[in-house]
Amino acid sequence: MSHRLPHPDTTFVGLDVHKSSITSAVLVPSADVAVVDRFYPDEASIRRFLSGLGDPGLVSVCYEAGPTGYHLARLLRRLGASCEVIAPSLIPVTAGARVKTDRRDARRLVELHRVGQLTPVRVPTEAEEAIRDLCRARADLVTDRTRARHRLLKFLLRHGIVFGDGAHWTMRHEAWLAKVSFEDQALTRTYARYRSVLAGVDAELAAIEADLRCYLETGPFAETVARLSAYRGMTELGALSLGAEVGDWRRFPRATSFMGFCGLTPSEYSSGERVRRGRITKTGNVHLRTALVESAWSYQHRPATGAVIARRQRRASPETITRAWSAQVHLCAKFRRLSTLKSSRNVVVAAVARELAGFLWAEMTAA
């Protein structure tokens, strides 16, 4: 939560922001009841609204993080006002509240904002957000490729054609796919369409990865990539994605705070003498959680520094390499130990991903 001592003459504003409208609730210093208004979310209307509140330096604005992004926060800050973007899932909820309107939401925001009961999120710079969007576009293409692959394989399975000579999507599998044919013309065309869609997605994915590689050694996340990619399971593009999603690692005071931000901490329902812990919360940043879980699978094998990891560690300091090796030894041992105790490998991977998040946080906050 935001703890601050505002100026006694500060005017607090809560905004309920939508694509086509903004509902505002304003609490001037001497008022107990907010004044509610509604205006169009273009720059001219925002400037006009802010100018009616007096000195922008004595205006403190907040709104919930959402699909409208950070453009409004950046604009208000350029105009001289203070603006915080609030984490929606951490807004206190009144028990028994069953009515939700834009006006009520704006009033609730400004009331909580004035007493410091809201938790702000970090607003990235425009350069950081641009790279993050490019990383998320790559993640979308990876998902599209997985779906295209599944459609192709399921189509073949429906017609009794199954590859049984090793793993899918290897060179051998690709050569086998090129030889598959059908007598029926409609099936031939269907198969060709599935193959062409997959080829198109592969080409787009290769192109966007080429675009991202120019940011591996330059830009705001170059140091992050050099340090994180020294860890097992963390490719350079994966490290870039993590850096773009987190931004400032030091905003998390402890490793457990970062684990919670990733949604990798167990849920808990405890009361009195009874302690009950359940599945991971899955709250927070889904992109971070997905990347960490994918990386955690690499720790199922014995500790080793192969040619690929050694190449990635060329830009890392000796201290980072030492910490990466310690993390690998610990996490590989944890993976093996938990595998003998748990029937579900997914539970094991989630536990390893949670500790991996702690190691990465420690790396990025080390001197």
Using the 3D structure, point to which of 121, 148, 165 is the last residue of a domain: 121
Asked if 201 and 230 sit in the same domain, the reply is no
Q: Considering the domain boundaries, does residue 270 fall inside one?
A: yes
Q: How many domains does the chain have?
A: 3
Q: According to the model, what pLDDT value does residue 162 have?
A: 96
pLDDT reported for residue 268: 64
Identify the pLDDT of residue 227.
Answer: 97
Higher local confidence (pLDDT), 79 or 276: 79
40 pLDDT band, cuts 50/70/90, is very high
Q: What angle do CA 17, 22, 24 make, to 5 degrees?
A: 100
CB 359 within 8 A of CB 322: no
Q: Are residues 71 and 55 in the same domain?
A: yes
Residue 20 placed within a domain: yes
pLDDT of 84-93, one tens digit each?
A: 999 998 888 8
- Give the pLDDT of residue 193: 98
> Is the per-residue pLDDT at 147 higher than 80?
yes
Please name every residue paired with 120 in a beta bridge, in sequence order, or none if there are none.
86
Residue 258 has pLDDT above 70, yes or no: yes
Tell me if 18 sits within 8 A of 102, measured CB to CB.
yes
Each residue's pLDDT tens digit, 166-208: 999 999 999 999 999 999 999 999 999 999 999 999 999 999 9
Whether 25 and 111 map to the same domain: the answer is yes
3-state secondary structure of 14: strand
- Are 321 and 277 in a shared domain? yes
Q: What is the mean pLDDT of residues 119-146?
A: 95
C-alpha neighbours within 13 Å on the C-beta side of residue 42: 3
Is the domain of 229 the same as that of 359?
yes
- CA 358 vs. chain centroid, Å, equals 16
Domain that holds residue 158: 126-213
Residues 259 and 202 in one domain: no
Q: What is the CATH number of the domain that holds 37?
A: 3.30.420.110
What is the mean pLDDT of the segment spanning 115-134?
Answer: 93
Token pair listed for 83: 């603006």
pLDDT at 357: 96
Query: Model confidence at 30, in pLDDT bands (50, 70, 90)?
Result: confident
Same domain as 279, residue 361: yes
pLDDT tens by residue, 210-254: 999 999 999 899 999 999 999 999 999 999 999 999 999 999 999
Residues 130, 117 share a domain: no
Residues 137 and 266 in one domain: no
**How far apart are the C-alpha atoms of 350 and 108, rounded to whole Å?**
36
Q: Can you give the pLDDT at residue 1?
A: 47
Within a domain: residue 3? no
Give the three-class secondary structure for 233.
coil
Is residue 4 assigned to a domain?
no
The answer to whether residues 230 and 354 belong to one domain is yes
Out of 158, 188, 213, a domain closes at: 213
Q: Which residues in the chain belong to E strands, given as ranges?
A: 11-17, 22-27, 35-39, 59-64, 82-86, 120-121, 266-268, 277-280
Cβ(259)–Cβ(357) below 8 Å: yes
pLDDT tens sequence across 262-318: 988 877 676 676 767 667 777 778 999 999 999 999 999 999 999 999 999 999 999
Query: Cα dist. 253→247, 256, 365 in Å?
Result: 14, 9, 10
Mean residue pLDDT across the chain: 92
Last residue of a domain, one of 88, 121, 154: 121
Is residue 5 domain-resident? no
Mean pLDDT value across residues 70-83: 96
CA atoms lying within 13 Å on the CB side of residue 367? 0
Are both 70 and 141 inside the same structural domain?
no
Does 353 lie in the same domain as 229?
A: yes
What's the pLDDT score for residue 270?
Answer: 67
For 331-345, the pLDDT digits (tens) are: 999 999 999 998 889
